[in-house]
Structure 1
Amino acid sequence: MTRVSLATESDFIGWRAWTRSLLHQHVPSREIVWNIPTQPHFHIPEKHTLPQSEASLTLSPYFRDLISAIFVSGHPQRFSLLYDLLEKLRDHPQLPKDDPSLTPLKTLALQTRQEAMALRQTLPPSLYPEMTIHRLQVPSSLLDSQAHALRALRPWPWLIQTPGRLYLYENHQLRFGLSPEDPDIISDDQQLLTYARQHTVPTHNHPYWDTILPLKLHPLPHLIQRAPSLETLRAYAADCTLCSLCQHASRTVFGEGNPSSSLLFVGEQPGDQEDRQGRPFVGPAGQLFNDALREAGGERHHYWVSNAVKHFRFTPRNGRRIHQKPDTPHIQACSPWLAAERRLLRPKVTVMLGATGASAILGRTVRVMRERSQLFSLPDGSTGLITVHPSSLLRQPDEKLRQQEIKKFISDLNLALSALA
């Protein structure tokens, strides 16, 4: 028998190296025993000495996605199942996707993707700076695969406990460690937080997640259209690849606010701070928007705030990321997200902040200064209003003119609020 030891249940690099070597040697699956630690260590596991093999298999995107879903499934026999699959693909490179032997694997992969989607909906929100603590009954390997979703929760503190692992993010530092073996040890959130601070270690300078295979959900337009809730839609959006902006932006920046609101604000796209924090309208323009809305008689958290485009488009320059206006293809690619948001919100009033937001809603070129400050009917029977984007007010060099324009902006917001009555 060949015994293979992996560093953790999420050790994709180790699993791949051993699998390549054993497949090259034609070691049958029945002669392999996969040893996985029953619990992760407090420290980041050191890299094991791995076998070197020049052999590799060329896999289609379909089989790569299938393997990634099974790898993080938590199924006790998943490594054997995957080895069996790769043996077949080695011996039958043209194995069809509808081969009957794949049915159990496809069922397991579908279940894992559904669990990942449910996990996304239960991750702690990043809206407020209070510590959020979540106890989740999910395999640690599945949570590991969602590392990019975890990173999107920054900068606010959070703690996640799974049956096998603790994840603590606090003071701009991510830490990793064991969950307590006896669930009775931790009876409340304060005890759990104290335990986590004492029994986890920093993962800075430890590329733990670099060895883990991410499970992406690849949202399709028909799934976007059928999303039953805004939280489901947010979970889908985290993996959006509908246009090229996802390649350079840090994350999807989805809308936020009161899901029962009758008032929707639609801007252009996230800026630098929004991209870093994962929230819309949190930079200088967002602060001006919040202040103006308050002056008009509203509070931001009562309403829903979003953008026509969900990824930050920018040009690198001298170490900075300079805003670049999204093109029509970007707006069109993002249109299913905005349409789904409006379908779920069913807003009574939609305020379009700037030309891009207005064009995304109306489907035509908009001249903001000519069309602003007027209530009008949208095709669905709700009310629309066009006004300037708050960032344009910040670009006004003349202080006196800026204050005049801010007053006009406040007046527009007040008009939108009055339309709710």
Structure 2
Amino acid sequence: MSSTSMEARLAGHTDLAGFRSEARQLLAHQVPPDEVQWQLEEPADAYVAPQSPQSSRPRNVARAATAIVPASFTRLCEFVVLHRDPERFSLLYRLLWRLVHEPGLRNDPGDADMLQAQHMAHAVRRDIHKMKANLRMRSLRDADGEDVQVGCYEPAHHVVEAVAPWLAKRLPAPRWAVFTPERSVRCEGGRLLFGPGVPGAELPRHDAGDADWLACHERVFAAHHA
């Protein structure tokens, strides 16, 4: 790391819009990859509706950089940022820098950095598929006597926020909640809200009794119940 390293701060583990904004500024100032230190803030405990990735993306990206960076790299970023590798943002900025300064990179299928990013994206896609296929929900009545579906899962990567919109379309119940060690998500009438996770040791097993599931639901959501 260079003695003149710059810190680039991101608002969480999956802050793609923040990465794009920071990368744009770093490129504009010609800051090379080995002089950047990426810092990730922990997600807030309070439940908040997620930002729309489209609305939060920077709109004034340099036209020259936009012309040089292929659309396939933009799509690759959307998956790589969900990987658990702590060096993923460094890898992506290094690739972005190289795509701008080494135009031939896009035509080099054997490049080590690009291969690593593609392998990471593949792992994330596989993890998303596994969560969709293997998540099991069960129906309960909460303390207010209202129906709610609950489930838990331990994904390998940061995929909860990517899977949640799919669940909202597929699950028939208007109220449901999914707990994972990193993030939990609930749906109230189609509105997704994200917040703190449940440690793996405290996640109810699928064959646990209703009381255990209700206790977990109340513990995670009671303070945020609308």
Q: What is the TM-score normalised by the length of structure 2?
A: 0.73
> Structure 2, unaligned stretches of length 5 or more?
52-56, 142-146
1:197 has 2:221 as partner: yes
Shift in CA distance, 199/30, structure 1 to aligned 2, threshold 3 Å = farther
What is the 5 A alignment of 1:16-415? 16-44=20-48, 54-55=61-62, 56-58=65-67, 59-95=69-105, 96-101=107-112, 102-124=114-136, 131-138=148-155, 141-156=158-173, 157-170=175-188, 172-180=190-198, 183-184=201-202, 188-200=212-224
Identify the residue that residue 393 of structure 1 maps to in structure 2. none
Percent identity over the alignment? 22
Deviation of the 1:87 alpha carbon:
0.8
Q: C-alpha deviations, 1:261-287, integer Å up to 9, x for none? A: xxxxxxxxxxxxxxxxxxxxxxxxxxx
Q: What is the TM-score normalised by the length of structure 1?
A: 0.42
Q: Structure with the greater relative contact order (CA < 8 A, sep ≥ 6): 1 or 2?
A: 2
CA distance in 1, matches of 2:48, 2:185: 12
**Structure ID, larger Rg:** 1
**Contact in 1 for aligned 2:9/2:40 (Cα 8 Å):** yes
CA distance in 2, matches of 1:61, 1:185: 39
Tell me the matched-pair count: 201
Deviation of the 1:107 alpha carbon:
1.6
CA distance in 1, matches of 2:152, 2:203: 14
CA distance in 2, matches of 1:89, 1:31: 17
**Contact in 2 for aligned 1:140/1:164 (Cα 8 Å):** no
Deviation of the 1:62 alpha carbon:
2.6
CA distance in 2, matches of 1:121, 1:45: 25
**Contact in 1 for aligned 2:148/2:177 (Cα 8 Å):** yes
Shift in CA distance, 173/100, structure 1 to aligned 2, threshold 3 Å = closer
Greater shift in the superposed pair: 151-160 or 118-127: 118-127
Shift in CA distance, 127/43, structure 1 to aligned 2, threshold 3 Å = closer
Shift in CA distance, 120/52, structure 1 to aligned 2, threshold 3 Å = closer
SS at match of 2:150: strand
SS at match of 1:145: helix
Deviation of the 1:173 alpha carbon:
4.4
SS at match of 2:46: coil
> Structure 1, unaligned stretches of length 5 or more?
203-421
SS at match of 1:3: strand
Q: 2:9 aligns with which of 5, 10, 26?
A: 5
CA distance in 1, matches of 2:167, 2:128: 12
